[in-house]
Amino acid sequence: MSGTEMKRTPFFKILIANRGEIALRIMRTARRLGYGVVAVYSDADCDALHVREADSAVRIGEALPTQSYLRIDAIIAAAKASGATAVHPGYGFLAENEDFAQACRDAGLVFIGPSPEAIRAMGNKAGAKDIMRKAGVPVVPGYQGADRDDAVMLAEARKIGFPVMIKAVAGGGGRGMRLVEDAAAFPDALRNARSEAQGAFGDPTVILERAILDPRHIEIQVFGDRYGNAIHLGERDCSVQRRHQKLIEEAPSPKVTSELRARMGAVAVAAVKSIGYEGAGTLEFLLDERGEFYFMEMNTRLQVEHPVTEAITGLDLVELQLRIAAGEPLGLRQEDVRFSGHAIEVRLCSEDAHHDFMPQSGRMALWQMPDGIRVEHALQSGSEISPFYDSMIAKIISHGADRNEARGRLICGLEQAAAFGVTTNQGFLISCLRHPAFAKGEATTSFIGSHRDELLARRANDKAEAGLAALLLYVTNPHAPPWRSGRSLAATFPLTMRIDLGHGATDVDIVRNRDGSYLASLNGGEHRFEIEQLGSDTIRFRTDGIMESARFLRDDDRLHILHRGATIAARDLTLASPVSAAGSGGDGKVRAAMNGRVVAVLVTPGEQVTAGQPVMTLEAMKMEHVHTAGVAGTVSAIDVAEGEQVTTGRIVVEIAAA
């Protein structure tokens, strides 16, 4: 193709309309290709790494996404003010918003993504299913009619047959999605899905689908250019999920044969060619145990999990996006695409897996990611994890000659990651990767639900960890005598310490023996430690004849430890006064389980409630969390208002017990 035939849309500076790790990821490729980069930020992100790394940055609003990163007018104005001539939407917020793509076009800005028309056609789940159905592609049965009255939706759900899936028509990432088992649960699930979709995407519209139980979630990466060329880059298996959000992704899928890959890829390419699609896109399918696949939706954007495709193809997907947006032809034919080895990605999230994956926020006291493995993140020690945005704080990606090698490298990388100060799902991810079902490539979308107890089982060496925590709290106490190796003639007396590892207080007796070793006694058991070396953040010790080491960070009465790949957070309660367990609700007071925004108060003063009845919905990290009554009784006070921002432990509803 000669230069005169090409429809060039040159640009020189790119505004990235997103935040965090994806903003940094786009900057990296953009700068390599010679583009300037502009960041945008909310008040919550004014000190964020993506802001400091950009050539320039523009404030676009307050902390809440609806008041900042979802404001089309503010982002267009920021592009104009900064001199940017193109906008990259990242993979969230406005990436699948046709109005945003149109606003960029109207403002003379190059939108690095598909056209508004393509987003309208494929970005809407209902419209995309119609297009695919007409093309003869099997789709999941469901309802996406114009009449979405509550009674109509319930009637249609009955026709489809329970269980059904409620899904937001806009966006992705599991927001606005609910699996409903029966008609009784449908009204509340519908309300919650609509509310969550409105908060996440600014559109409360939902559709219904039959729930296909225990499938694999397979997606096909596609690229198209403005000259009618289109290719696929193989599949990704995204079956390991919690709350309908992906947690582990890999390429290729352990269950997709070369023949099935060719079939699914051909369907995906035909679909994007039929609408003249430009840029990166992903078609998502459910694959059942018989090998039949059903189209679910298309994401008209770059995906969070794109690095695994980059790893096995050797291609830079952001570079392809930028070149296509500038008017270059794709430059790749399907036969040019080659796959090498296996790649797996995990999403490291600030959440507590042991408490229903509850989002966590706060200050990351120590943040150190492993070397020798790809990590995408935007944090450093001292960074604040905000309650306003997604809980994913890093992606860790491994690549190996085969699946087992990639899995082993990823486990080793996770074991070396130090994330102290905010609870993460680090240990849970390691458990998933080590589980026999995952190791054999047998994980489906029901993997976490089916193996939840095993994946969340307390470690077998809990007592040893309590002993190690007590030892470190003892020897790092600023008032304790300095540690010295070797024997001592001094008399030794046991010190009783009360510590909490997150699941109840434990009393541990610590005594230093005259031979220089330490003995930790708890719950009838004893653990002997010989300290070989004690530094400011590492300890090397011998126990049970084995030499080991651990990293630690002392933060007032709290101690963070990285030992055997697990992060342990210990609190010294020795001198603390007894306190009630916040959030239990057993005293009639319902407390906020995390920092967040009140999106719905579900009861009124004087109302009679039963134990377990929903009383308030809190939104944190773009997910809604229903709080329930801890006791039966009468609502005596409501201490918050809808829209109010609350902190962890704040009393939100008070109930006088019956």
pLDDT tier, 489 (very low <50, low <70, confident <90, very high otherwise): low
Domain 3-112 CATH (choose: 3.40.50.720, 3.90.1200.10, 3.40.50.20, 3.40.140.10): 3.40.50.20
Tell me the mean pLDDT in the region 444-471: 86
* Whole-number Cα distances in Å, 183 to 140, 153, 159, 190, 544: 20, 11, 11, 11, 57
What is 216-455's CATH number? 3.30.470.20
* Catalytic residue of the set 71, 261, 301, 650: 301
Q: What is the dihedral of CA 294, 296, 297, 301, to 10 degrees?
A: -80
- Which pLDDT score is estimated for 579? 43
Tell me the mean pLDDT in the region 358-367: 91
Cα separation, 558 vs 422, whole angstroms: 12
Asked whether the beta carbons of 327 and 7 are under 8 A apart, the reply is yes
Please tell me what DSSP assigns to residue 315: -
- Which pLDDT score is estimated for 187? 92
Asked whether the beta carbons of 246 and 304 are under 8 A apart, the reply is yes
Which positions ≥6 away from 616 have C-beta within 8 Å? 590, 598, 600, 601, 602, 603, 626, 627, 640, 652, 653
Which positions ≥6 away from 42 have C-beta within 8 Å? 19, 59, 60, 61, 62, 63, 64, 65, 67, 68, 69, 388
Q: Which of 7-21, 240-254, 519-533 has the lowest average pLDDT?
A: 519-533
Query: Of 173-182, 231-240, 581-590, which has the strongest mean pLDDT?
Result: 231-240
Tell me the mean pLDDT in the region 97-120: 95
The owner of tokens 């026709």 is 159
Asked whether the beta carbons of 604 and 612 are under 8 A apart, the reply is no
Q: Which of 167-176, 369-378, 424-433 has the lowest average pLDDT?
A: 167-176
- Which pLDDT score is estimated for 658? 79
Tell me the mean pLDDT in the region 37-52: 95
* Class of CATH domain 462-572: alpha beta
Per residue in 264-295, pLDDT (tens digit) is: 999 999 989 988 999 999 999 999 888 889 99
Per residue in 294-349, pLDDT (tens digit) is: 998 899 999 999 999 999 999 999 999 999 999 999 999 999 999 999 999 999 99
Would the pLDDT of 173 be above 70? no
**Nearest residue to 223 via CA among 131, 112, 102:** 112
Q: Which of 408-417, 484-493, 556-565 has the lowest average pLDDT?
A: 484-493
For residue 37, the surrounding DSSP H or E stretch is strand 36-42
> Higher-confidence residue: 65 or 225?
225
Kindly state the percentage of the chain with pLDDT values over 70: 95
473: its two tokens: 């709290």
Task: Please report how many Cα atoms fall inside a 13 Å half-sphere around the Cα of residue 214, on the Cβ side.
Answer: 5
pLDDT tier, 409 (very low <50, low <70, confident <90, very high otherwise): very high
Q: Which of 6-10, 12-16, 404-408, 592-596 has the lowest average pLDDT?
A: 592-596
Cα separation, 102 vs 90, whole angstroms: 16
pLDDT tier, 134 (very low <50, low <70, confident <90, very high otherwise): confident
- Which pLDDT score is estimated for 55? 97
Catalytic annotation present for 597: no
* Class of CATH domain 589-657: mainly beta
Cα separation, 500 vs 579, whole angstroms: 13
Peptide bond into 481 cis (omega under 30): no
Query: Of 104-113, 474-483, 497-506, which has the strongest mean pLDDT?
Result: 104-113
Q: List the domain boundaries for the chain.
A: 3-112, 141-210, 216-455, 462-572, 589-657
- Which pLDDT score is estimated for 457? 85
Would the pLDDT of 4 be above 70? no
Would the pLDDT of 3 be above 60? no
**Nearest residue to 392 via CA among 621, 623, 50:** 621
Q: How confident is the prediction for the chain on average, in pLDDT? A: 89
Q: Which fold has domain 141-210?
A: Dna Ligase; domain 1 (3.30.1490)
> Higher-confidence residue: 78 or 499?
78
Judging by beta carbons within 10 Å of its beta carbon (0-12, 13-18, 19+), is residue 457 exposed, middle or buried? exposed
Per residue in 502-522, pLDDT (tens digit) is: 777 888 998 888 888 899 998
- Which pLDDT score is estimated for 326? 97
**DSSP letters spanning 189-242:** HHHHHHHHHHHHHS---EEEEE---S-EEEEEEEEE-TTS-EEEEEEEEEEEEE
Would the pLDDT of 384 be above 80? yes
> Higher-confidence residue: 494 or 418?
418
Which residues pair with residue 374 across a beta bridge?
A: 397
Per residue in 535-579, pLDDT (tens digit) is: 989 999 998 889 999 999 988 778 999 998 888 888 888 876 554
